[in-house]
Amino acid sequence: MKINILSLFPQYFEAFKNQSIIAKAQKLGHLEINIINFRNFSKEKHHKVDDTVYGGGDGMLLQVEPIHLALETVKDSYKILLSPQGRKFNQKIAHELAKHSKITLICGHYEGFDERILNFVDDEISIGDYILTGGEIPAMVISEAIARLAPGVIKKSSHQNESFENDGLLDYPQYTKPANYLGYKVPEVLLNGNHKEIEKWRKEQAYLKTYKNRKDIIERIKNEN
């Protein structure tokens, strides 16, 4: 899988590219992350990429031309504009995007984009209903979420039992040694070696945790069924 990221701040991604699963996946050849500074595609003096808003208003908008010209270099990829107006990202969308061999993420900044940029992209995605300074953090979130689903990046069994996978519920509680810490004990069912009972307990606990922390997920699952 190849992920292109269009950003005015390539330095944001240095640590991200060179740590943990992302670094390992690149080293093994399962993942390539390519950072493109779309300021380099500006035809304006001093490589300007933003300008005032037609009709008036505060702030500056990113111009359509430098982003369009940058996108021309990655035409064979699935192109995603990161913005608060996009569909809200979730694990289902992560699986959907992971099917593409090449993806391009476009990071915004300032007051947003010239609307005409939408004519040159395939999708528009938001990571949540809140405001960030730019699209760099959303790009990292989406990159990691889809990269870890790519073949060879992590064991398939490792992510199949995580939150939002399979039945869509949150993950069940998990424990490790010691079995008793300051009186807080590991549930007895996990210590008896009965895998059938353990599996039943985990399913029940996943539902209970989801009901307690995210009732919206329970409602969504009911509506889907």
Annotated binding site for S-adenosyl-L-methionine: 108, 127-132
Question: What phi and psi values does residue 107 have, to the nearest 5 degrees?
Answer: -90, 125
Binding residues: 108, 127-132
